[in-house]
Amino acid sequence: QLQLVESGGGLVQPGGSLRLSCVASGVTADTYIIGWFRQAPGKAREGVACISDRRATTSYADSVKGRFTISRDNAKNTVYLQMNSLKPEDTAVYYCAADWRPFADICTLNRGQYTFWGQGTQVTVSS
């Protein structure tokens, strides 16, 4: 059973940076696509970024393109989300999610396509 644990959230000023980590355990994560999602109070959970397994193809929501970068280190079973130029509207609980997709060349930002979820980490962007 795949388990996901997020870390790296916190309070940061507008324009600042944070790096979130998602560590997978229980299975080897290199046959899974991994997505980062976020949910702000009163809003639906939305896809932020995702990465496929072997080719590490990435996809981003328009709202974060050019500011966020997703990457993976399969040797460490870890996926990262580097967040730069943070804005107050980036404030949310951030979740990582995984779905088994061996040999996948693409990933998806559709939350309904993911089977496994972490507990989330809070990111607050405020001065």
**pLDDT > 70: percent of the chain:** 99
Q: Hey, what are 92's tokens? A: 């949310």
Residue 53: count other Cβ atoms within 10 Å of its Cβ: 23
123: helix, strand or coil: strand
CA atoms of 8 and 104, how far apart (whole Å): 27
pLDDT score, position 14: 98
Q: Which residue type is seen at 42?
A: G
Average pLDDT in the 99-119 region?
92
For 44-103, write each residue's pLDDT tens digit: 999 999 999 877 899 999 999 999 999 999 889 999 999 999 999 999 999 999 999 888
Of residues 10, 14, 1, 64, the one with CA closest to residue 35: 64
State the number of CA atoms in the 13 A half-sphere of 15 facing the CB.
1
CA distances from 27 to 4, 19, 23, 87, 117 (A): 10, 23, 11, 35, 14
For 14-46, write each residue's pLDDT tens digit: 999 999 999 998 877 678 899 999 999 999 999
16-90-123-71 Cα dihedral, nearest 10 degrees: -80
- The count of residues in the chain is 127
